[in-house]
């Protein structure tokens, strides 16, 4: 039996050219090819979306106690826990740490990059089964948000969706970051100074992360190319006074608000899998519960799990979602 | 010179009789009488409102590094920093830790208790100047909220208001407590069990305090005598799903929302003093800033300060507000 | 039945006169006299020692959910849970927050103040049973340390000792404070500046408390009147380098080291009660366990309990120790 | 100009065969070869030692905001900030997360593995300058400890040592982990159960890390093959009672204690570089200061820096130590 392989390809994106943040349009896309790949026929494919501050190739990083994605897929395939598959690991990183896998004038057209560029390329290059029913999208945290958002907006492309600890119920999750911004942005010299200097800052501690996350999300959800920073914030940085109009733009992306709008798409999925840790540090378990309750009320089939853990180091949850996909593909 | 005295009076309230929580209608009200009280003429009076889980008599507690209210007033009067005054320390404690000094069917008519009962009694019993211009109300935290609320609703009674670190901008302050409820209420056996058992619990740690605060505020702001607990919560205790209708009832009490409604009352005050610590643990500094910004826009005179401290052990700020009152009374 | 009374007496100490820290030699000593005191015969007496930053009168402070010492004793006596008793509440506070109830040239002769002054005075003034078998000493935290230390050094005076969450195993408890000193003392301008300014500082937050505690303990355990501050620290304030000689002076007061030296005294007690919370924030549970293990090995009778709580708000544990004393007195 | 390369070699160790923990004796050793490697003559070589829970290949992991070791060395060489060099990245990981790079019967002969196996192999395989004066060892945290320890015990092999945030002054650094063990080991079912189960545990949170670290250090410093776990702990797991004999074995490895013993070796180094973050979470700054103070007193030349950061994500400090080495090599 030949062993699995990871191919890293420099993909020259057209849709990312000239993006607002001047992020590179050439991206290193990693593709996992299962054991015995050459001799076999064709494989289902899963697009695995990295979380905030991540890119696909980082899923190949080694760590002390955990498998990287290649080791994980190898084990799952070798023990027949899952159907052999191809995995595509996109790079949708931005200057601010992530694109949420959406199209935004404030960042770039990352959703189009995946749907219009990577999917056709992968189908043309590797031995995929080029059908929506055998094409899944999965991710964790921002990647889970991306997977779910992709499933809502592109059901013609993806037949299975797995959202692990995905961003949702923004009011409970992002708002605590806003408070950190209000408390601490002056220590970094204000938003403009933060944007200029954050990459070289040492240490990146204190409220660095929630500030960066807020900026990154604003660039995704409420871009404003006429503004000083390229985006609007949903609150006044001095007083904290709320800006309903900006916040309304964010909520247009909050999955818990979007079931009426995308009900048909969600209903058409062969698998809609959602999970979250019961002690998620960003309160995403309440998002998952609320989303689940609303799916139930709308009569939309899905599978939801909650597990005893927090937000970090929960890659082992992919075992569950990949097996759920396999069951769909094998039935 | 005779020294100051504190008189503790058992006040038999009529308006608190039969209150929903079965809290006592007889209350120990402490009254501070300044040095040389007997010989003097008449004095302005300040109603000092304790914070959540406090009652007036607790302001007489001794502590290691700080003065109690008698020592503080003595020093301020003896050094001529403030005008000699009478201070009334009401007890508006409830079974859940506090009444916010408002009338609520879910707790009792605590605002009426002060305005309709304590004020006439104090004027009849002590050598006060029984005029609105010489009658102030001040407090910290829930007491600051109470003072401000009293000023809005009873400008005929109070001429000066001082709100220290007062509850406001509920969305930024109370919501973090709601998350604690969502995360931890099951450890206490649910809301009903918590209500039954919390007083005898040891230890009162973890998320005990934010849970209790949420329950107490709900009893004040969104009582519902037909419900299981006597109040409604603005979120689903399982999923965290938001309840806009209940939340709207809370916002009817949020000072930052009430300037249009009570603009005339606020404008009529001889002193409207607001301060907050720049590192308030409950994010109340953003409430104070937002309230201040809106007062400015409405053209309402006020004095606002921000100081380098958190929410706790900031009794020394009364020095500032009491001096501000004195200036008004002496001018 | 007449109700209980608390008498507060201004005691003019001779032994505290001219103490090194210039703390007052006149102290307000509170004495609890049980219900029906006048008519009764004579009572056993317990000396209750407050914790660090406390003095006896603070045990009379009111709080939201807990009894003060008068309410607690009233309830215990009225329900026949304990034998009626007199309680003496000394004031051994110092400029730095506490004396540990020992004699030190760096603070004052607080042990002598209790043993040589308060005990004879109380026996002469109140209807005590003036016998060592009916005279107990109890306390919490620094007060627990004081009670145990008193029992070791003055078994002729005290027949029962109760040590709640008492300071011991200094290596595990105080050393974490030393690290806080090392990390943060420069933010306060150094030790000398801290000593000059700490009382007026606002806020008293961050590492204020562990720094103060370290200074207070050094004044007690390793005074050095020839030094700049009046005491030596067991570590170099810059590098953290350990000073074995100074540390040896501290260990002369560590209860876990003193069983060989004071074995006879401990053995002579009618009651040696020790408890600690299993989650004590200062790691004192390990001190209690180690002390207990060493008592066992030395064959010294004692009663030890561990309870599910931390270091704070554990006054309810006095119920247990007071009942244990009562059993001794009633047998 | 040809670009740099990283070669990953499966090294079959003889000295690690049959090690007590059954860790693999075949190790993946990464070697960095600088740009233009083929055409050049010979290069100095630095052995870079990973921290606890790390191995050499993890230094190649990608991250959001930082360079991996290849990118870092490329930049430093390309900008002429450092002399072109070869870097060897050993794998001295163990079942418990790390070997401290020492020989221990409780783990394996990791120091010998480097000195007796990797050094001769690297000199035979790559274009190194095979002289002690051109052979450096550097690392961070446990790797910094390893580098310093290596320099003390093998000055014939290494001429330059760089210790970043290295383990030392065990009393201040490891003892806080011991307290975590005492507090929490029962939640994991005891030490034996922890050892059996920790690798598969989810989540690895709470006191997981300090417990693991304590076990790993005990396996290194106080192995005992006749004991239940293969090592002794310096304290009683129940009471916390101290074990001086075991602790003495640990201190035999504490750099701050070893200057008298290894003074000649340290004096012989061409570079002895030490740094630490001023806010190191493990208190290692006090170790570095104490070590520095003692080097001064012993008249041993060294370079010491302290920087404004904590313990984590401080790889950028290698820029400083690598430049210091380069200066030595260029002089």
Would you state the structure tokens that stand for residue C165, as one six-digit string?
A: 């969450």
Q: Where are the alpha helices (DSSP H) in A160-277?
A: 170-184, 191-197, 208-221, 244-251, 259-268
- Chain C residues whose C-beta sits inside 8 Å of any chain D C-beta: 169, 171-172, 175-176, 179, 182-183, 236, 238-242, 279, 283, 286-287, 289-290, 292-293
Neighbours of chain D (3+ CB pairs under 8 A): A, C
Residues C78-105: tens digit of each pLDDT: 999 999 999 999 999 999 999 999 999 9
The size of the C-D interface in CB pairs under 8 A is 58
User: D203–A316: do the CB atoms touch at under 8 Å?
Assistant: no
Q: Let me know how long chain B is.
A: 331
Mean pLDDT of the D30-52 span: 94
The size of the A-D interface in CB pairs under 8 A is 58
How many whole angstroms separate alpha carbon A32 and alpha carbon A41? 16
Alpha carbon of A199: minimum distance to chain D alpha carbons (Å): 6
Would you state the structure tokens that stand for residue C52, as one six-digit string?
A: 């660090």
User: C240–D169: do the CB atoms touch at under 8 Å?
Assistant: yes
Residues of chain B neighbouring C202 (CB-CB closer than 8 A): 308-309, 313-314, 316
pLDDT greater than 80 at residue C1: no
Q: Which residue of C has its CA nearest to B91?
A: C64
Mean pLDDT of the D31-52 span: 94
The size of the A-B interface in CB pairs under 8 A is 57
Residues of chain B neighbouring C58 (CB-CB closer than 8 A): 61-64
Alpha carbon of B271: minimum distance to chain C alpha carbons (Å): 26
Residues A94-104: tens digit of each pLDDT: 999 999 999 99
Alpha carbon of D287: minimum distance to chain C alpha carbons (Å): 8
> What is the residue whose two structure tokens read 């660090």?
C52
Q: Which residue of D has its CA nearest to C172?
A: D179
Q: Which residue of C has its CA nearest to B92?
A: C64
Contact between A159 and A269 under an 8 Å Cβ cutoff? The reply is: yes
Q: Which residue of A has its CA nearest to B256?
A: A241
How many whole angstroms separate alpha carbon C212 and alpha carbon C217? 9
User: B61–C62: do the CB atoms touch at under 8 Å?
Assistant: yes
Q: Which of B262, B227, B261, B263 is nearest to B246 (CA)?
A: B227
Alpha carbon of B63: minimum distance to chain C alpha carbons (Å): 7
pLDDT greater than 90 at residue D2: no
Residues D159-189: tens digit of each pLDDT: 999 999 999 999 999 999 999 999 999 999 9
Q: Which residue of D has its CA nearest to A68?
A: D61
Contact between B151 and B137 under an 8 Å Cβ cutoff? The reply is: yes
Residues of chain D neighbouring A97 (CB-CB closer than 8 A): 64
Would you state the structure tokens that stand for residue D331, as one six-digit string?
A: 């002089």
Touch criterion met for A and C (3+ Cβ pairs within 8 Å): no
Q: Which of B5, B19, B228 is nearest to B113 (CA)?
A: B19
Identify the segments of chain A with pLDDT beneath 50.
none
User: C289–D239: do the CB atoms touch at under 8 Å?
Assistant: yes
How many whole angstroms separate alpha carbon B208 and alpha carbon B204? 6
User: A283–B239: do the CB atoms touch at under 8 Å?
Assistant: no
Please give the mean pLDDT across all residues of chain C: 97
Residues of chain A neighbouring B179 (CB-CB closer than 8 A): 172, 176, 283, 286
Q: Which residue of A has its CA nearest to D317?
A: A202
* Structure confidence at residue D33 as a pLDDT band (50, 70, 90): very high
pLDDT greater than 80 at residue C13: yes
Alpha carbon of C53: minimum distance to chain B alpha carbons (Å): 5
Alpha carbon of A269: minimum distance to chain B alpha carbons (Å): 24
Residues C43-82: tens digit of each pLDDT: 999 999 999 999 999 999 999 999 999 999 999 999 999 9
Residues of chain D neighbouring A27 (CB-CB closer than 8 A): none
Nearest to C204 among B55, B57, B313 (CB): B313
Q: Where are the alpha helices (DSSP H) in chain B?
A: 69-78, 110-112, 119-125, 142-153, 170-173, 175-184, 191-197, 208-221, 244-251, 259-268, 284-298, 318-330
Residues of chain A neighbouring B183 (CB-CB closer than 8 A): 279, 283
Contact between B255 and B291 under an 8 Å Cβ cutoff? The reply is: yes
pLDDT at B41: 87
User: D62–A65: do the CB atoms touch at under 8 Å?
Assistant: no
* Structure confidence at residue C331 as a pLDDT band (50, 70, 90): confident
Residues of chain B neighbouring A182 (CB-CB closer than 8 A): 283, 286
pLDDT greater than 90 at residue D257: yes
pLDDT greater than 90 at residue B315: yes
Alpha carbon of A266: minimum distance to chain B alpha carbons (Å): 20
Q: Which residue of B has its CA nearest to A175?
A: B172
Residues of chain D neighbouring A58 (CB-CB closer than 8 A): 61-64
Q: Which residue of B has its CA nearest to A172?
A: B179
User: C58–B61: do the CB atoms touch at under 8 Å?
Assistant: yes
Q: ipTM of the predicted structure?
A: 0.95
Mean pLDDT of the D48-60 span: 98
Q: Which of B39, B147, B36 is nearest to B84 (CA)?
A: B36
Strands of B160-164's sheet in order across: B5-12, B26-33, B86-89, B45-49, B135-140, B160-164, B271-277, B303-307
Residues of chain C neighbouring D283 (CB-CB closer than 8 A): 179, 182-183, 240
Mean pLDDT of the B99-107 span: 98
Selected for mutation to probe chain B from C56, C64, C95, C310 (highest B CB count within 10 Å) is C64
The 3 state secondary structure assigned to D126-144 is: CCECCCHHHEEEEEECHHH
Residues of chain A neighbouring B242 (CB-CB closer than 8 A): 171
Residues of chain C neighbouring B310 (CB-CB closer than 8 A): 203, 205
The 3 state secondary structure assigned to B198-218 is: HHHCCCCCCCHHHHHHHHHHH
User: C309–B202: do the CB atoms touch at under 8 Å?
Assistant: yes
Mean pLDDT of the C290-299 span: 98
Q: Read out DSSP for C16-51?
A: TTT-TT---SEEEEEEEE-TTTTTS--B-EEEEE--
């Amino acid at each position: 039996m030949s062993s699995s392989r990871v191919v890293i390809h420099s993909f020259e994106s057209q849709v990312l050219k000239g993006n607002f943040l001047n992020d590179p349009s050439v991206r290193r896309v990693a593709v996992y090819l299962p054991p015995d790949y050459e001799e076999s026929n064709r494989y289902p494919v899963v697009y695995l979306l990295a979380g905030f501050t991540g890119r696909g190739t980082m899923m190949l990083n080694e760590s002390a106690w955990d498998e990287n994605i290649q080791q994980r897929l190898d084990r799952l395939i070798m023990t027949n826990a899952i159907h052999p598959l191809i995995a595509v690991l996109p790079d949708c990183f931005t200057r601010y740490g992530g694109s949420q896998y959406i199209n935004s004038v404030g960042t770039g057209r990352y959703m189009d990059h995946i749907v219009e560029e990577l999917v056709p390329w992968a189908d043309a290059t590797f031995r995929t089964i080029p059908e929506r029913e055998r094409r899944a999208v999965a991710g964790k945290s921002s990647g889970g948000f991306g997977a779910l958002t992709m499933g809502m907006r592109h059901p013609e492309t993806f037949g299975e969706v797995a959202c692990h600890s995905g961003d949702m119920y923004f009011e409970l999750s992002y708002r605590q970051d806003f408070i950190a911004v209000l408390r601490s942005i002056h220590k970094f010299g204000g938003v403009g100074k933060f944007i200029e200097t954050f990459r070289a800052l040492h240490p990146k501690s204190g409220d660095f992360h929630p500030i960066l996350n807020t900026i990154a999300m604003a660039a995704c959800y409420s871009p404003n190319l006429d503004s000083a920073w390229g985006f609007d914030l949903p609150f006044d940085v001095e007083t904290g006074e709320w800006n309903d109009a900006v916040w309304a733009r964010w909520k247009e992306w909050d999955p818990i608000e979007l079931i009426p709008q995308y009900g048909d798409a969600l209903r058409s999925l062969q698998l809609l899998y959602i999970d979250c840790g019961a002690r998620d540090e960003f309160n995403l378990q309440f998002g998952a519960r609320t989303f689940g309750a609303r799916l139930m009320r709308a009569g939309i089939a899905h599978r939801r799990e909650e597990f005893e853990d927090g937000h970090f180091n929960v890659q082992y949850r992919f075992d569950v979602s990949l097996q759920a996909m396999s069951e769909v593909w094998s039935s």
